Structure 1
Amino acid sequence: TLSTPWGTLTDVHVMIFIGFGFLMTFLKRYGFSSVGGNLLLAAFGLQWGLLTQGFWHLTDGKIKINIFKIINADFSTATVLISFGAVLGKTSLVQLLIMTVLEIGIFAINEHLVANVFEANDVGASMIIHAFGAYFGLAVARVLYRPGLKNGHENDGSVYHSDLFAMIGTVFLWMFWPSFNSAIAEPGYTQLMAVINTYLSLAACVVSAYAISCLVEHKGKLDMVHIQNATLAGGVAVGTCADMNIGPFGAMLIGFVAGIISTLGFKYLSPILAAKLGIQDTCGVHNLHGMPGILGGLAGIVAVALGKKDGKAAMQAAALASSLGFALVGGIITGFIMKLPFWAQPPDQNCFDDSIYWEVTKNENTDRKPLKQIGLHDCFSSGVNILKGNM
């Protein structure tokens, strides 16, 4: 085997708690809520995931816990964290906890249907995690649409240092994605194949994302939003096919296409979704997880039809349809529940701002005169006078 189950769990943990958490710190005044909220939802969600997933695999009426079930519980929280990205900055922690309970419950039903009824292959979870989480979150975002934000919000944006923090999440996710896609693959050659396919898909994705970003941006410059997100789309898209014998070219082709559609989605599709459909997707999860997740599902259908893996193409198609259907219907229902007035949803003017829920240190400049205004001479003189007084 490539690594111990404990090593794999640690890698997945890094993605869940560091990768997803820091990827969402791009908002200039919402870093506490991004990382802190991510920690709360993941910690709560993995406990609930153990129960909801364990319900389908009872042993003498009890839920047996092992390292692989813990890894699967981490997977269940990933769906919530993806959906979290769609509504980032516009919901309270109470609303997000409600979403966690409902989404993981629906996820467990769909996962059981895909894995045990359809017997479809989705080792890297392009369909059951990424596509499901993205469209669930988009459905919630549509129900929670805020007309007051249609022209934007002053805090719905990044600054230089917040984009750097977000890149920390990108790099950690990119590094550990092969572990994520191979975590539940059969040990040995199949697991190795999942690692290699993911590795190559990610590499090709980076190249295409950089290239397209240069082509579509002003004066051929790179857009940090594209680099933070679209460079990861290859890991999402190759997930379903990760343990299939698609060859290096197949893996790289999937990653290359994923990088293109993700970058174009951020540039052109997200504004259309917001303006025409009322879907205010804060993190652009449709471009990173939604469309690449569908691409992964379609690639899985083709790969199984070509005999790259045992199974039925029709069941792969059913798995994709099931994941999208449960996500959209479940997300709409969850959105209406979250919209109830007693969940402390923040008003429009307080969106994307940590200070409504967190103790935030005030800007030093509001509490004291800047050093350059006081003058170094005054500082040293004050220090000398203090010393004289103590002598």
Structure 2
Amino acid sequence: MIWNTNLRWRLPVTCLLLQVALVVLFGVFVRYDLDADPHWIGSQRNENTTSDMENEFYYRYPSFQDVHVMIFVGFGFLMTFLQRYGYSSVGFNFLLAAFGIQWALLMQGWFHSYKEGYIHLGVENLINADFCVGSVCVAFGAVLGKVSPVQLLIMTLFQVTLFSVNEFILLSLLEVKDAGGSMTIHTFGAYFGLTVTWILYRPSLHQSKERQSSVYHSDLFAMIGTLFLWMYWPSFNSAVSKHGDAQHRAAINTYCSLAACVLTSVALSSALHKKGKLDMVHIQNATLAGGVAVGTAAEMMLMPYGSLIVGFICGIVSTMGFVYLTPFLESRLRIQDTCGIHNLHGLPGIIGAIVGAVTASCANAKVYGIKGLANFFGFDGFKTSWDSSMQGKFQAAGLFVSLAIALVGGIIVGVILKLPFWGQPADENCFEDSVYWEMPEELKSTVLHPEDSTLKPAEP
């Protein structure tokens, strides 16, 4: 089947309607947080604060910059491995992230920052919005090359909404600790995306099979994304941690886990190849799994050696997933996972949730100190009847809640996206930039060469 991929009216109308709606909603509901408001100077006097450096901006903004780079550069370039889909990988990631952060500021604001009729916006809101969009970028990896930009905007609209609900349930109702988002970001994003791509299954996708491979320069561009993500992941996992030791500990744990994951991934990649060679797919993706898996327990007393163990395990699991599990999912379960998000985000996210539950259950006053234990887990608040065992149970419950919302939400959104009027490409035209982008003249003759029988021209 060949669908009409001409987006001349569909994409502009969708973008403009969404942006106008956002402008109206921001005008009605959003105001500056006290730290971004001129009244802050009065607050300084009341709290005897003498330095402008006490403003939350100077504490949080460096972490925000790092997370922001990960979302727009790291995730964008990580997906450029497809030989003829570089424009779309970076460009569509840019589009969905720019829309997603605006919608996330509203959705998360209504749940967490809504006071006196307004959402109060500060730099921490910007970080949390990026976290939310990070989950959308994860899901984007599963449907990469097979959907139109209109479908991506619709998916983002629903996923940000579901993410905010899931995050509120876990963090506010269940009081789960999930600093780096192993459950809220990675597990939810991965299984939401996998469910959507399962619903959008394309039985004739083999017609575009040759364009799913990489070329030398596309893999190099993807490694740029990998390196940005790998370097900034400690900031990602520690960005919204409490001032002081928790943030410091989160950065150290992530740093150690990532380092161990690289060595293990390289070892497994070589060991699983019959000639002992390295596979660039493993180096681009599996090396990041340690950052995903340490996310839930990042602030906890995991200990540096524990972080190394987590990274070690994830390097093995993620690499083996790319070798054995991805082909199985496509051939047996009809899940066409373009970027292998199940191996980088799904499985490591589950491992991270388990590590977090076990680490929380084992927490005690000897390790944290009496005051430190009560303060870290909130046992000195309304949870005075809780203990570490109870916290561990709630951590485990958070994993099942995330999976349930991801699977149910993914089915619903997948059915909506399967409607035939969103401008999606036909099976034989997937993974091809020229379907939606004006290409440079020197590439047009190659891409649209008459000998390329797999690329069908779009209908007018």
Q: Give the TM-score normalised by the residue count of structure 1.
A: 0.92
How far is 1:152 from its partner? 5.8
Q: 1:314 is paired with a residue of what secondary structure? A: helix
Does the Cα contact within 8 Å between 1:150 and 1:274 map onto a contact in 2?
no
1:39 is aligned to 94
Report if the CA contact (8 A) 2:207-2:427 is conserved: no
Q: Distance in 1 between matches of 2:259 and 2:174?
A: 32
Structure 2 partner of 1:314: 393
Tell me which residue corresponds to 1:378: none
Contact residue 234 and residue 251 of structure 2 kept, 8 A: yes
Show the counterpart of 1:113.
169
- The count of aligned residue pairs is 366
The 3 A distance-change label for structure 1 pair 32 and 184 is same
The corresponding residue for 2:64 is 9
Name the aligned partner's letter for residue 180 of structure 2: G
> 4+ runs of 1 displaced by more than 4 Å?
364-367
Residue in structure 2 matched with residue 340 of structure 1 by the alignment: 419
Match of 1:84 among 119, 122, 140: 140
Residue aligning to 2:179? 123
* Whole-angstrom distance in 1 between the partners of 2:314 and 2:241: 22
Task: Please report the RMSD computed on the Cα atoms of aligned residues, expressed in angstroms.
Answer: 1.4
Shift of 1:154: 1.6
Asked whether the equivalents of residues 83 and 285 of structure 1 are also in contact (C-alpha less than 8 Å), the reply is: yes
1:86-139 per-position Cα deviation (integer Å, ceiling 9, x unaligned): 000000000000000000000000000000110010001000000100000000
2:218 corresponds in structure 1 to: 162
1:289-304 aligned at under 5 Å gives the runs: 289-304=345-360
Cα pair 2:207 2:428 within 8 Å, conserved: no
> In structure 2, how many angstroms separate the alpha carbons of the residues matched to 1:184 and 1:136?
24
CA distance in 2, matches of 1:5, 1:121: 19
CA contact 1:150–1:275 (8 Å) conserved in 2: no
Distance in 1, matches of 2:86 and 2:59, equals: 33
Structure 1: runs of 5 or more not aligned: 368-391
Map of 2:77 onto structure 1: 22
Cα distance in 2 for residues equivalent to 1:363 and 1:83: 33
After the TM superposition, which residues 218-233 of structure 1 pair with which residues of structure 2 at under 5 Å, given as runs?
Answer: 218-233=274-289
Partner of 2:265: 209
Q: Whole-Å Cα distance in 2 between the matches of residues 365 and 277 of structure 1?
A: 37
Please state how far the C-alpha of 1:149 moved relative to its aligned partner.
1.3
Report deviation, 1:177. Answer: 0.2
1:146: Cα distance to partner? 0.1
Q: 326, 331, 343: which one pairs with 1:275? A: 331
Q: Please say if residues 79 and 89 of structure 2, whose CA atoms lie closer than 8 Å, have aligned partners that are also in contact.
A: yes
Matched residues, percent identical?
57
TM-fit CA distance, 1:314: 1.0
Letter in 2 for 1:236: V
Q: Deviations over 1:185-217 (max 9, x none)?
A: 111111110000000000000010000001001
Q: Distance in 1 between matches of 2:207 and 2:336?
A: 11
In 1, the alpha carbon distance for the partners of 2:162 and 2:340 equals 22
Residue 188 of structure 1 aligns to which amino acid in structure 2?
G
Aligned to 1:66: 122
Partner of 2:406 in structure 1?
A: 327
1:234 alignment partner in structure 2: 290
Letter in 1 for 2:436: Y
Aligned amino acid, residue 344 of structure 1? G
1:230 is displaced (CA, Å) by: 0.2
**C-alpha distance in structure 1 between counterparts of 2:310 and 2:76, whole Å:** 26
Indicate the residue corresponding to 1:371 in structure 2: none
Q: Is the 8 A contact 1:240 1:300 kept in 2?
A: yes
